[in-house]
Structure 1
C-alpha cells in the first residue's frame, strides 16, 4: 500500500484513513468509491450574511443611542417563486457598551444558535477629512539615509516666509534595519538551499526520503523567518508612525508633509522591481501615518522628492555632501553650502520638504483613494527662527581690596554631597603599616594550594571573575514609538508648555 501512495504520506494519514474506511465497510458492507462517498457533506454554522444584500432587502434604522432595528426581507418557504413568498422581519439589536453613541451602524450578520440570534455588528466612526490648505504650522518629514524618519517644525508667517526650528526630530532605527538585513540574508540562504535540494530530488529516479525530510525542515524554517520579518516590519512601521503623530500633536502642527519616493522610481521597470527598490517598510509607515493622523485630525500631504537632498534650503544652490563637518571628503552624512549652511543631510532635506509644502498649499489635490498630494512644487528659501532672548548675565561686583576696614566674611559654596555608596576620603581608614622588611617586594599573589590535602579543604580558584554578570535586556513599560525595541532611538516628545512624554488623551494602538 505504501508503494501505491504518493511520496510524503505520513503514518498518521494512513492510520486515520484506514480506520475511516473500516468504519464505512462495517456500516455499508462495501468499499467506498471515492473520498466524497467516504466523507459526509461539510457542516458549517448557520448564518445569514446580510452584508451581501442591498437596501431592497436590508435596511438598518437607528431607534435611539442604544437600540438598532434591522429590517430584512426573508423568504417564508424553501423555494420562493414570487414577492408574496417574501416577508419583512424586524430585529431589534441592543448595542453593547463599547459601541459609541454617534457611530454609523453597518449591515450585520445574523447567527442563529441555541434558540437565540447572535449578531456580528460592525460600525464606522464618522470622519471629516482635514483641510488641505490654510496651514501655518507643519511638520516636514524626510525618509532619511542615516535614520528612518527625520522631521522639522516649520511655520508660515504673514509675509509668506517659512521659518524653521534648529532642533531636528529623529526616529533612528539603524539597529532594527540591520537586524532585518540579517534576516533577509538568512531567508535568501534558506531559499537557495531548498531550491538546490529540490533539483537534486527531482533528478533522482529512486525514492529519496532523506532529501524530502530535509526539504520539510528547510521550508518550515523559511516560513518562520518570513513571519518574523513581517512582524518586525509591522512593529517598526506602526511605532514610527505613532511617534511622528505624537510629535505633530505636541507641537500643534496641523499638517505633515512627506516626500513621495514614487517620483524617484526607475521608469520602464516591472512593478515588483519598483516595489523592492522603494522598500516595504516605508509603504507600511506611510499607511500607518495616514491612519493615525486621520484620528488626530492632522492632514498628510506628499510632495515631490526630487531635489530635496541636493539643494540648499536657505539659498537654493547645490550643496556638497561630506562625511563630517571637520572632514571635506565626499560622503553622505553632512551637507555644506557656500552660503554658510552646515547641518545634517536629512535635517536639511526635511526643511526643504516643509518649505515646499507650506509654499504650495494651493496646489494640493485629493485623489480618488483619499490621499492628498502636491504634484508640482517650487522651492522657497527658509529662514531660521530667531532664538529666544536670554537673560543678561549678572555683572559681578568688583571685590573691594582696600585694607581700611575689616575683611568681610566670604560666602563659600555649599559642600558637594557625594553618593552614599562612595565614602569620603577622610572616612576611609588609613592603611596599616607594612611589616618591616617587605618594602619594595611585589605581592605574594594567590594563596598556594595543597596538592594532596589531608581533608576537605576549599581550593582557591585559579581565575576569579571580575566582571559583573550580564543580564538580558528587558523593556519595562515600553510604549510604541519609544522603546518598543532596544535598538530604536527617538527624539523625546516635547509639548508646547515644555513638558515631555505622552499626553493623557493621546491615541494608543490597540
Structure 2
C-alpha cells in the first residue's frame, strides 16, 4: 500500500448544491481537525503513565481476550474512551454521542472514533520507545559514552529486535541529559523522561464509516470524497453539520487499477487541504534470496548514489561475485549546494526572529517599539515557514528522482535485487558544514521511495551493514588507503581509494558499492524480513572478493576460416572455377590501422560517447544529445529562423540562442527531473552478463 497526496479543486454543499471556495472549505476542515486534535490530546494526556502503558503493552483486556488491531476499538475495550461533557446533548443513537473542547459541543461517534484512533496510534508508538528506554535504564553503565563489551552484550539481550545503533545513541544522550539536569537521578521511565507527544491537527477518515465519509473514483484523474463537516468551530447540534462533496485531483502515481482507501485530511499552513490518499494494487511476490544479479548502492554527500552491478558465480564454497566495472552515478552536487544555502538562510531568519522576540520581551508592552518588533518577528516567521516548505519540497523531489533512477537502472541491467547501506547507522561527524549537509539529507525517504518503486517492478530491496564498506579493498580485502586524487597518493584524503596490496585504484564510493553488492549476494541466506513493514535486512555480513570480468580472447584468422568452412556445404569434385572479379581486392589493414584493444575490463561503460555533428565533445562515459527542434518551430523559442552566422546577432540574442541550444541538447530535466543533476544514462547490459551468462562480455564498441 502506498500513499499519495492530492488536493481538492472543487467543493459543493450537498444540501443546497451551492459551491464553496477554498477558504471556506479550509476553515471547515480546520474545525473538524481541531475537534479531533482536542479529543486526542485529552486522551493521550490522561493515559500518559507507566501503568496505562503496561496495560496496553500486555495486549489483552480485563477478560484476557486479545485486543483488536483497530486502535479505537482497543481503547474502548479497555474502557479508555473519551467521556462526553456533562452538558453535551446526548441521544440513544450513536449519532448523538458527543464530546468536545467545551461544554455543549456536539460531535458524532464517528468523530470520537477518529480521535481515539489517533490516540491509540500514538500510544502504541510510545511502547517501542519505552522498551528501548527501559533496557537502557536496566543496564545503565558507569560511563555512558563508552560501554564495555560485557555491557553491550547485556544491553543487546534486553533491547527489542531491530534497534539500530543510532537509536541507542540518541536515547543514551537523552537519558544522560536528564541525569545531568536532576543531579544524577535516573528517570523512572519514558513518561518521566518525555512529556506527552504533541498532537497534529488531522482527520483520520479511516476510523469512520459511511455515515461520516465516503469515497469513490470517477475516472483515471479524479475521485469524489463525500464527508460531513462542521459549519462552525463549536457545533451545538446536528444542524451545525452538513455533507460536503469534494472533488479530488489524483496524481499520476495512482494507477487506474489501484484501489482507493479512506484518506486523511490535513490543513496545511499555506491555506490548502492536503488529502493523504492510501491506495493499493496487487504486487508480485518477491523472493528474499536466490538472486544471481544485483546492484549495490553506496550513499554519498554530493554524489547521492554510486552503484555497481554484480553477478553471483559459482556455488557454495566457490561462490564469488563478478562485476562488469561500470560505475552508476547519481550526482546531485548542485542540488545539495542549493539545499545547504537554503538551510543557512533558514538559520539566519530564525536567529533574527528570536532576536526581535527577545527585544520585544525586554521592552514590554508600554514601549512604542514593542508592536513594531513583534510585527517584524511575524514577517520573519512567515518567511521562515516558506523556506522550510521549499526545503521539504526539494528534498522530497530529489529523493524520489534518485529512487526512480536507481530502479530504472536495476530493471535495465536485469538485476532482481537492490542492496543499500543500512542508513540508520549513518551518523554525522566532523565539521559543522559536513554535519549540516549529512543530517539534512533524506536518506529514509530515498529508501522508502526505492522500496515502493521496486515493488512495482518486482525487484527486492535489501539493506546490508554499512560498517567497513569503505575500509577494505573489494578485490583482495586488504586495508584501503584514502587519498584526494589518483595522482596524489602521497596525501591523505577521502575521495580516491588505493590498495597497496593488489594495486586497485578507483573512486572510493565505487569501491564501497562493490563491497555492498558483494555482502548482499554472498549473505542472502541471512536475509530477515520484518513482518510489520516488510523491510528486508542482512545483519550478518559475509565478506568476499569482487572480480572484474575479462574479455574473451581474440580469435585468429585461421580459426575463423575453419569455423566458416565447417558451416559451408562440401565442394563438388572437379576442377576449381573462379568467377570473374567485378572489383579489386581491398588492401589488408596494416598493423598501424588495426585497433589496439586491451582484453582487460575498462572502468567505463560499453556504450560509447556519441559525437554527432554540432554537439559538444565530451569524455568517454557521457552521452550527448543532438538538438531536436520541435515540429513547426523555426527557432529556439520565439519562432525566429536560426541565422546562418550567429556572430551577426546582437550580444543579448546571441547569449539567449546559446542558452536555448544547450537546453535543447542536454534534456536533463526529462531524465532526472532536475536541470543540474548528472546521472549515468540507463543502458542495458549485454545478454552474456545476464543471470545465465558467462563471466565474459563483448568488446567495447568503437566511437562513431
- TM-score band by shorter chain is 0.5 to 0.7
Query: Which structure shows the higher helix fraction?
Result: 2
1:394-434 per-position Cα deviation (integer Å, ceiling 9, x unaligned): 963699xxxxxxxxxxxxxxxxxx99xxxxxxxxxxxxxxx
The 8 Å contact of residues 314 and 382 in structure 1, kept in 2 or not, is answered as yes
The 8 Å contact of residues 365 and 373 in structure 1, kept in 2 or not, is answered as yes
Structure 1, unmatched stretches of 5+, are 1-39, 59-97, 110-119, 268-273, 400-417, 420-463, 499-510
1:252-290 per-position Cα deviation (integer Å, ceiling 9, x unaligned): 1000000113234489xxxxxx99965442111111111
Residues 1:359 and 2:522 aligned together: yes
Partner of residue 156, structure 1:
312
Which of 394, 400, 404 lines up with 1:242 in the alignment? 404
Which of 497, 501, 509 lines up with 1:335 in the alignment? 497
The 8 Å contact of residues 129 and 297 in structure 1, kept in 2 or not, is answered as yes
Q: CA deviation at 1:105?
A: 7.0
The 8 Å contact of residues 304 and 377 in structure 1, kept in 2 or not, is answered as yes
Residues 1:469 and 2:655 aligned together: yes
Q: CA deviation at 1:201?
A: 0.6
Partner of residue 372, structure 1:
536
Q: Which has the higher contact order (CA 8 A, sep 6+)?
A: 1
Residues 1:384 and 2:548 aligned together: yes
Residues 1:288 and 2:449 aligned together: yes
1:450-475 per-position Cα deviation (integer Å, ceiling 9, x unaligned): xxxxxxxxxxxxxx969943576796
> Tell me, what secondary structure is at the counterpart of 2:400?
helix
> Tell me, what secondary structure is at the counterpart of 2:671?
coil
Residues 1:188 and 2:347 aligned together: yes
Partner of residue 313, structure 1:
474
CA distance in 2, matches of 1:151, 1:354: 9
Q: What is the TM-score with the length of structure 2 in the denominator?
A: 0.43
1:103-157 per-position Cα deviation (integer Å, ceiling 9, x unaligned): 6675799xxxxxxxxxx99753122441110000000100024510000110001
Residues 1:142 and 2:303 aligned together: no
Residues 1:130 and 2:286 aligned together: yes
CA distance in 2, matches of 1:369, 1:295: 16
Q: CA deviation at 1:376?
A: 1.2
> Tell me, what secondary structure is at the counterpart of 1:324?
coil
**RMSD of aligned Cα (Å):** 4.2
Over alpha carbons, which structure has the higher Rg? 1
1:170-211 per-position Cα deviation (integer Å, ceiling 9, x unaligned): 000011001100000000000000000000011112252221
> Tell me, what secondary structure is at the counterpart of 1:482?
helix
User: Residues 4-403 of structure 1 correspond to what in structure 2 (within 5 A)?
Assistant: 51-52=206-207, 124-159=280-315, 160-205=319-364, 206-207=367-368, 208-265=370-427, 278-328=439-489, 329-338=491-500, 339-367=502-530, 368-389=532-553, 396=589
Structure 2, unmatched stretches of 5+, are 1-103, 114-203, 214-251, 265-275, 430-434, 558-586, 593-612, 615-649, 688-704
The 8 Å contact of residues 295 and 418 in structure 2, kept in 1 or not, is answered as yes
Aligned pair in 2 of structure 1 residues 318, 230: CA closer, same or farther (>3 Å)? Answer: same
User: Residues 403-418 of structure 1 correspond to what in structure 2 (within 5 A)?
Assistant: none
CA distance in 1, matches of 2:668, 2:591: 54
Partner of residue 491, structure 1:
680
> Tell me, what secondary structure is at the counterpart of 1:148?
strand
> Tell me, what secondary structure is at the counterpart of 1:258?
strand
Aligned pair in 2 of structure 1 residues 211, 327: CA closer, same or farther (>3 Å)? Answer: same
1:237-259 per-position Cα deviation (integer Å, ceiling 9, x unaligned): 01000100000000010000001
CA distance in 1, matches of 2:663, 2:374: 41
1:425-451 per-position Cα deviation (integer Å, ceiling 9, x unaligned): xxxxxxxxxxxxxxxxxxxxxxxxxxx
CA distance in 2, matches of 1:378, 1:398: 48
1:75-101 per-position Cα deviation (integer Å, ceiling 9, x unaligned): xxxxxxxxxxxxxxxxxxxxxxx9989
CA distance in 2, matches of 1:292, 1:360: 24
CA distance in 2, matches of 1:280, 1:305: 17
CA distance in 1, matches of 2:323, 2:337: 32
Aligned pair in 2 of structure 1 residues 322, 362: CA closer, same or farther (>3 Å)? Answer: same
Aligned pair in 2 of structure 1 residues 190, 43: CA closer, same or farther (>3 Å)? Answer: same
Q: CA deviation at 1:327?
A: 1.0
CA distance in 1, matches of 2:465, 2:518: 12
CA distance in 2, matches of 1:167, 1:388: 18
Partner of residue 201, structure 2:
none
CA distance in 2, matches of 1:105, 1:195: 44
Aligned pair in 2 of structure 1 residues 388, 230: CA closer, same or farther (>3 Å)? Answer: farther
CA distance in 1, matches of 2:262, 2:312: 45
The 8 Å contact of residues 141 and 257 in structure 1, kept in 2 or not, is answered as yes
CA distance in 1, matches of 2:350, 2:446: 27
CA distance in 1, matches of 2:260, 2:656: 54
CA distance in 1, matches of 2:312, 2:472: 20
Aligned pair in 2 of structure 1 residues 392, 346: CA closer, same or farther (>3 Å)? Answer: farther
Aligned pair in 2 of structure 1 residues 200, 165: CA closer, same or farther (>3 Å)? Answer: same
> Tell me, what secondary structure is at the counterpart of 2:343?
helix
